[in-house]
Amino acid sequence: MNIESKLRPLYLAKILLSQTDDEHSLTTNELSEILEREYHISAHRTTIGEDIKVLAQAGLDVDMIKSTQNKFRILSRDFDIAELKLLIDAVESSKFITEKRSDTLIEKLQRQASLHSAEALKRNLRACSRFKPDNEEVIYIADAVNAAINAGKKISFQYFDYNVRKEKELRNGGIAYSFSPYYLIWDGDCYYMVGYSDKHHNIGNFRMDRVYQQPKILPEDAVPVPADFDINEYVSTSFRMYNSERRKVELICDNSTMDAMLDRFGMEVETHENDAKSFLAVVNVAVSHVFYAWVFGFGGKVKIKSPEDVRAGYAAILREAEKAIQ
Protein backbone atom coordinates (compact mmCIF):
# COMPACT_ATOMS: atom_id res chain seq x y z
CA MET A 1 0.00 0.00 0.00
CA ASN A 2 1.52 3.32 -1.08
CA ILE A 3 1.48 6.48 1.02
CA GLU A 4 -1.41 7.99 -0.98
CA SER A 5 -3.62 5.01 -0.20
CA LYS A 6 -2.85 5.39 3.51
CA LEU A 7 -3.55 9.13 3.56
CA ARG A 8 -6.62 9.14 1.30
CA PRO A 9 -9.18 8.08 3.99
CA LEU A 10 -7.79 10.72 6.37
CA TYR A 11 -8.14 13.45 3.75
CA LEU A 12 -11.65 12.26 2.91
CA ALA A 13 -12.61 12.52 6.58
CA LYS A 14 -11.16 16.05 6.71
CA ILE A 15 -13.12 17.07 3.60
CA LEU A 16 -16.38 15.59 4.86
CA LEU A 17 -16.01 17.22 8.29
CA SER A 18 -15.16 20.65 6.90
CA GLN A 19 -17.46 20.82 3.87
CA THR A 20 -20.58 18.81 4.70
CA ASP A 21 -23.32 18.91 7.32
CA ASP A 22 -27.06 18.21 7.64
CA GLU A 23 -27.87 20.57 4.78
CA HIS A 24 -24.79 20.17 2.56
CA SER A 25 -23.46 17.01 0.92
CA LEU A 26 -20.82 16.05 -1.65
CA THR A 27 -21.04 13.53 -4.48
CA THR A 28 -18.32 10.98 -5.14
CA ASN A 29 -17.25 13.01 -8.18
CA GLU A 30 -17.00 16.17 -6.07
CA LEU A 31 -14.98 14.32 -3.43
CA SER A 32 -12.69 13.00 -6.14
CA GLU A 33 -12.18 16.51 -7.56
CA ILE A 34 -11.36 17.97 -4.13
CA LEU A 35 -8.87 15.18 -3.43
CA GLU A 36 -7.16 15.89 -6.74
CA ARG A 37 -7.23 19.68 -6.39
CA GLU A 38 -6.23 20.05 -2.73
CA TYR A 39 -4.15 16.94 -2.05
CA HIS A 40 -3.02 15.81 -5.53
CA ILE A 41 -4.48 12.35 -4.97
CA SER A 42 -6.41 10.53 -7.70
CA ALA A 43 -9.23 8.22 -6.63
CA HIS A 44 -11.95 6.29 -8.46
CA ARG A 45 -15.58 6.58 -7.34
CA THR A 46 -15.54 2.95 -6.17
CA THR A 47 -12.39 3.56 -4.12
CA ILE A 48 -13.94 6.59 -2.44
CA GLY A 49 -17.03 4.56 -1.55
CA GLU A 50 -14.88 1.86 0.04
CA ASP A 51 -12.86 4.45 1.99
CA ILE A 52 -16.06 6.02 3.34
CA LYS A 53 -17.26 2.59 4.52
CA VAL A 54 -14.01 2.25 6.47
CA LEU A 55 -14.51 5.71 8.00
CA ALA A 56 -18.06 4.77 9.04
CA GLN A 57 -16.78 1.55 10.64
CA ALA A 58 -14.22 3.65 12.53
CA GLY A 59 -17.04 5.73 14.04
CA LEU A 60 -17.47 8.69 11.69
CA ASP A 61 -21.20 9.39 11.33
CA VAL A 62 -21.33 9.49 7.51
CA ASP A 63 -24.74 9.45 5.85
CA MET A 64 -25.15 8.32 2.23
CA ILE A 65 -27.96 9.77 0.13
CA LYS A 66 -28.61 7.31 -2.68
CA SER A 67 -29.10 8.74 -6.16
CA THR A 68 -27.61 8.43 -9.63
CA GLN A 69 -24.53 9.85 -7.95
CA ASN A 70 -24.39 8.93 -4.29
CA LYS A 71 -23.97 11.90 -1.96
CA PHE A 72 -22.28 11.88 1.43
CA ARG A 73 -22.54 14.12 4.49
CA ILE A 74 -21.63 14.19 8.17
CA LEU A 75 -24.70 14.01 10.41
CA SER A 76 -23.38 14.24 13.96
CA ARG A 77 -20.26 15.73 15.51
CA ASP A 78 -18.71 16.03 18.95
CA PHE A 79 -20.45 19.42 19.31
CA ASP A 80 -23.61 20.68 17.66
CA ILE A 81 -23.96 24.32 16.55
CA ALA A 82 -25.85 25.40 19.68
CA GLU A 83 -23.12 23.93 21.92
CA LEU A 84 -20.37 25.59 19.91
CA LYS A 85 -22.19 28.93 20.14
CA LEU A 86 -22.32 28.60 23.92
CA LEU A 87 -18.60 27.79 24.09
CA ILE A 88 -17.66 30.65 21.76
CA ASP A 89 -19.85 33.08 23.72
CA ALA A 90 -18.18 31.98 26.95
CA VAL A 91 -14.69 32.47 25.51
CA GLU A 92 -15.55 35.81 23.89
CA SER A 93 -17.13 37.29 27.01
CA SER A 94 -14.55 35.93 29.44
CA LYS A 95 -12.59 38.55 31.30
CA PHE A 96 -10.02 35.90 32.15
CA ILE A 97 -8.94 35.09 28.57
CA THR A 98 -6.85 37.57 26.58
CA GLU A 99 -8.10 38.84 23.23
CA LYS A 100 -5.31 37.02 21.38
CA ARG A 101 -6.05 33.75 23.15
CA SER A 102 -9.80 34.25 22.59
CA ASP A 103 -9.28 34.59 18.85
CA THR A 104 -7.16 31.41 18.77
CA LEU A 105 -9.69 29.39 20.80
CA ILE A 106 -12.62 30.61 18.72
CA GLU A 107 -10.87 29.63 15.50
CA LYS A 108 -10.32 26.14 16.92
CA LEU A 109 -13.97 25.90 17.98
CA GLN A 110 -15.16 27.04 14.55
CA ARG A 111 -13.16 24.22 12.97
CA GLN A 112 -15.37 21.78 14.87
CA ALA A 113 -18.20 22.74 12.50
CA SER A 114 -18.48 22.71 8.72
CA LEU A 115 -17.44 25.74 6.69
CA HIS A 116 -21.11 26.30 5.89
CA SER A 117 -21.96 26.55 9.61
CA ALA A 118 -19.09 28.92 10.40
CA GLU A 119 -21.25 32.00 9.80
CA ALA A 120 -23.79 30.76 12.34
CA LEU A 121 -21.01 30.69 14.92
CA LYS A 122 -20.08 34.34 14.49
CA ARG A 123 -21.49 36.50 17.26
CA ASN A 124 -20.60 40.11 17.77
CA LEU A 125 -20.17 39.92 21.53
CA ARG A 126 -17.00 41.98 21.66
CA ALA A 127 -18.96 45.22 21.35
CA CYS A 128 -20.64 44.55 24.71
CA SER A 129 -18.00 42.44 26.49
CA ARG A 130 -15.79 43.76 29.27
CA PHE A 131 -12.16 44.70 28.94
CA LYS A 132 -9.88 41.80 28.15
CA PRO A 133 -6.68 41.25 30.16
CA ASP A 134 -3.26 41.46 28.55
CA ASN A 135 -1.65 38.77 30.73
CA GLU A 136 -1.21 35.83 28.36
CA GLU A 137 0.49 33.87 31.15
CA VAL A 138 -2.71 33.41 33.17
CA ILE A 139 -3.74 30.29 31.28
CA TYR A 140 -0.40 28.65 32.15
CA ILE A 141 -0.73 29.73 35.78
CA ALA A 142 -4.10 27.96 35.89
CA ASP A 143 -2.54 24.88 34.31
CA ALA A 144 0.21 24.78 36.95
CA VAL A 145 -2.30 25.13 39.78
CA ASN A 146 -4.42 22.36 38.29
CA ALA A 147 -1.34 20.12 38.08
CA ALA A 148 -0.61 20.78 41.78
CA ILE A 149 -4.21 19.91 42.71
CA ASN A 150 -3.99 16.63 40.80
CA ALA A 151 -0.62 15.82 42.41
CA GLY A 152 -1.80 16.82 45.91
CA LYS A 153 1.12 19.25 46.35
CA LYS A 154 1.56 22.75 47.73
CA ILE A 155 2.44 25.69 45.53
CA SER A 156 4.50 28.82 46.11
CA PHE A 157 3.71 32.12 44.40
CA GLN A 158 3.88 35.90 44.68
CA TYR A 159 0.70 37.97 44.52
CA PHE A 160 0.17 41.56 43.45
CA ASP A 161 -2.24 44.50 43.49
CA TYR A 162 -2.22 47.59 41.29
CA ASN A 163 -1.20 50.87 42.90
CA VAL A 164 -2.58 54.32 41.99
CA ARG A 165 -0.04 54.54 39.14
CA LYS A 166 -1.46 51.28 37.69
CA GLU A 167 1.78 49.49 38.51
CA LYS A 168 2.01 45.98 39.92
CA GLU A 169 2.88 46.00 43.61
CA LEU A 170 3.68 42.72 45.34
CA ARG A 171 1.76 41.85 48.48
CA ASN A 172 3.34 40.42 51.61
CA GLY A 173 6.52 42.41 51.00
CA GLY A 174 7.24 40.25 47.96
CA ILE A 175 7.48 37.11 50.11
CA ALA A 176 5.91 34.13 48.35
CA TYR A 177 2.73 32.57 49.72
CA SER A 178 2.67 28.85 50.51
CA PHE A 179 -0.71 27.48 49.50
CA SER A 180 -2.49 24.13 49.25
CA PRO A 181 -4.86 24.47 46.25
CA TYR A 182 -8.11 22.49 46.37
CA TYR A 183 -10.33 23.89 43.62
CA LEU A 184 -10.35 26.24 40.63
CA ILE A 185 -13.48 28.42 40.70
CA TRP A 186 -15.02 30.79 38.15
CA ASP A 187 -16.99 33.56 39.86
CA GLY A 188 -18.00 37.05 38.81
CA ASP A 189 -15.90 37.16 35.62
CA CYS A 190 -12.77 36.11 37.53
CA TYR A 191 -10.90 32.84 38.02
CA TYR A 192 -9.91 31.88 41.56
CA MET A 193 -8.04 29.12 43.31
CA VAL A 194 -9.47 28.03 46.65
CA GLY A 195 -7.34 26.27 49.23
CA TYR A 196 -5.47 26.43 52.52
CA SER A 197 -3.14 29.38 53.12
CA ASP A 198 -0.17 28.68 55.40
CA LYS A 199 0.18 32.41 56.09
CA HIS A 200 -3.44 32.93 57.14
CA HIS A 201 -3.91 29.47 58.72
CA ASN A 202 -7.30 28.99 57.11
CA ILE A 203 -9.05 28.40 53.80
CA GLY A 204 -9.00 31.34 51.42
CA ASN A 205 -8.82 32.20 47.76
CA PHE A 206 -6.61 34.08 45.31
CA ARG A 207 -7.42 35.53 41.90
CA MET A 208 -5.47 33.75 39.18
CA ASP A 209 -4.84 36.92 37.17
CA ARG A 210 -3.15 38.51 40.20
CA VAL A 211 -0.62 35.70 40.63
CA TYR A 212 2.77 37.08 39.67
CA GLN A 213 4.45 34.64 37.28
CA GLN A 214 3.87 30.91 37.19
CA PRO A 215 3.69 29.32 40.66
CA LYS A 216 6.20 26.71 41.76
CA ILE A 217 4.90 23.26 42.60
CA LEU A 218 6.56 22.28 45.88
CA PRO A 219 7.59 18.75 46.90
CA GLU A 220 5.63 19.19 50.15
CA ASP A 221 2.22 17.50 50.29
CA ALA A 222 -0.80 19.79 50.40
CA VAL A 223 -2.76 20.24 53.61
CA PRO A 224 -5.71 17.82 53.25
CA VAL A 225 -9.14 19.26 52.47
CA PRO A 226 -11.07 19.48 55.77
CA ALA A 227 -13.75 16.79 56.00
CA ASP A 228 -16.46 19.38 56.68
CA PHE A 229 -15.46 21.75 53.87
CA ASP A 230 -18.15 22.22 51.20
CA ILE A 231 -16.94 24.12 48.14
CA ASN A 232 -20.50 24.83 46.96
CA GLU A 233 -21.38 26.41 50.29
CA TYR A 234 -18.11 28.36 50.29
CA VAL A 235 -18.88 29.89 46.90
CA SER A 236 -22.58 30.57 47.54
CA THR A 237 -21.88 32.32 50.84
CA SER A 238 -19.06 34.47 49.46
CA PHE A 239 -19.67 37.70 47.58
CA ARG A 240 -17.14 38.29 44.79
CA MET A 241 -15.12 35.59 46.60
CA TYR A 242 -14.44 38.04 49.45
CA ASN A 243 -13.41 35.79 52.32
CA SER A 244 -14.51 36.64 55.87
CA GLU A 245 -16.34 35.08 58.81
CA ARG A 246 -19.47 33.16 57.84
CA ARG A 247 -22.59 34.28 59.71
CA LYS A 248 -26.24 33.25 59.72
CA VAL A 249 -28.18 36.34 58.64
CA GLU A 250 -31.93 36.91 58.44
CA LEU A 251 -33.16 39.05 55.57
CA ILE A 252 -36.61 40.56 55.05
CA CYS A 253 -37.12 40.45 51.29
CA ASP A 254 -39.74 41.92 49.01
CA ASN A 255 -41.56 39.15 47.14
CA SER A 256 -40.17 40.48 43.85
CA THR A 257 -36.64 39.50 44.94
CA MET A 258 -37.26 35.74 45.18
CA ASP A 259 -35.60 35.04 41.82
CA ALA A 260 -32.48 36.92 42.94
CA MET A 261 -32.37 34.99 46.23
CA LEU A 262 -32.60 31.66 44.45
CA ASP A 263 -29.93 32.73 41.95
CA ARG A 264 -27.62 33.71 44.80
CA PHE A 265 -28.26 30.97 47.38
CA GLY A 266 -29.89 28.13 45.42
CA MET A 267 -33.22 26.35 45.71
CA GLU A 268 -32.34 24.99 49.16
CA VAL A 269 -32.22 28.44 50.79
CA GLU A 270 -34.42 28.63 53.89
CA THR A 271 -37.38 30.97 53.34
CA HIS A 272 -40.57 31.72 55.28
CA GLU A 273 -43.56 33.92 54.57
CA ASN A 274 -43.26 37.23 56.44
CA ASP A 275 -46.38 39.06 55.30
CA ALA A 276 -48.39 39.49 52.10
CA LYS A 277 -45.62 41.52 50.44
CA SER A 278 -42.41 40.00 51.80
CA PHE A 279 -40.67 36.82 52.95
CA LEU A 280 -37.91 35.96 55.42
CA ALA A 281 -34.69 34.42 54.06
CA VAL A 282 -32.19 32.79 56.41
CA VAL A 283 -28.78 32.67 54.76
CA ASN A 284 -25.17 31.88 55.62
CA VAL A 285 -22.93 34.61 54.24
CA ALA A 286 -19.41 35.98 54.47
CA VAL A 287 -20.25 39.34 56.03
CA SER A 288 -18.22 42.08 54.37
CA HIS A 289 -18.60 45.42 52.61
CA VAL A 290 -19.27 43.41 49.44
CA PHE A 291 -22.24 41.71 51.09
CA TYR A 292 -23.53 45.09 52.30
CA ALA A 293 -23.18 46.49 48.77
CA TRP A 294 -25.21 43.54 47.48
CA VAL A 295 -28.00 44.28 49.98
CA PHE A 296 -27.90 47.99 49.10
CA GLY A 297 -28.25 47.14 45.41
CA PHE A 298 -31.86 46.07 45.98
CA GLY A 299 -32.81 49.67 46.74
CA GLY A 300 -34.52 48.94 50.06
CA LYS A 301 -36.30 45.78 48.93
CA VAL A 302 -33.94 43.66 51.07
CA LYS A 303 -33.45 44.54 54.75
CA ILE A 304 -31.18 42.94 57.34
CA LYS A 305 -33.27 41.71 60.30
CA SER A 306 -30.57 40.03 62.39
CA PRO A 307 -28.06 39.62 63.95
CA GLU A 308 -27.82 43.05 65.49
CA ASP A 309 -24.08 43.55 64.91
CA VAL A 310 -24.53 42.87 61.18
CA ARG A 311 -27.39 45.40 61.12
CA ALA A 312 -25.16 47.89 62.89
CA GLY A 313 -22.32 47.29 60.43
CA TYR A 314 -24.65 47.94 57.51
CA ALA A 315 -25.97 51.12 59.14
CA ALA A 316 -22.40 52.36 59.64
CA ILE A 317 -21.63 51.75 55.95
CA LEU A 318 -24.74 53.73 54.95
CA ARG A 319 -23.74 56.65 57.19
CA GLU A 320 -20.27 56.74 55.63
CA ALA A 321 -21.82 56.67 52.16
CA GLU A 322 -24.09 59.59 53.06
CA LYS A 323 -21.09 61.60 54.28
CA ALA A 324 -19.30 60.92 51.02
CA ILE A 325 -21.97 62.72 48.97
CA GLN A 326 -22.40 65.72 51.27
Residue 48 CB neighbours (<10 A): 23
Q: Express as a percent the part of the chain with pLDDT over 70.
A: 93
| Residue that wins the pLDDT comparison between 166 and 270 | 270
Question: Is 324 a residue whose pLDDT tops 50?
Answer: yes
Q: Where are the domains of the chain?
A: 3-74, 81-121, 138-221, 239-324
Strand partners, 247: 285
- Strand bridging mode 153-162 / 62-65: unpaired
Confidence of residue 125 (pLDDT cuts 50, 70, 90): very low
Cis peptide before 307 (omega within 30 of 0): yes
Alpha helix ranges (H) inside the chain: 3-19, 28-39, 45-57, 81-93, 99-110, 138-151, 231-237, 258-265, 289-296, 308-324
pTM score over 0.85: no
What pLDDT does residue 135 have? 64
pLDDT, average across residues 186-200: 88
- Domain 138-221 matches domain 239-324 at the CATH topology level: no
pLDDT, average across residues 161-173: 89
The fold of the 239-324 domain, in CATH, is Alpha-Beta Plaits (3.30.70)
Question: Is 124 a residue whose pLDDT tops 70?
Answer: no
What pLDDT does residue 123 have? 54
Q: Which amino acid is at 266?
A: G
pLDDT, average across residues 270-292: 92
Instruction: For domain 138-221, give the CATH number.
Output: 2.30.30
pLDDT, average across residues 190-208: 92
Does the domain spanning 3-74 belong to CATH 1.10.10.10?
A: yes
Question: Is 222 a residue whose pLDDT tops 70?
Answer: yes
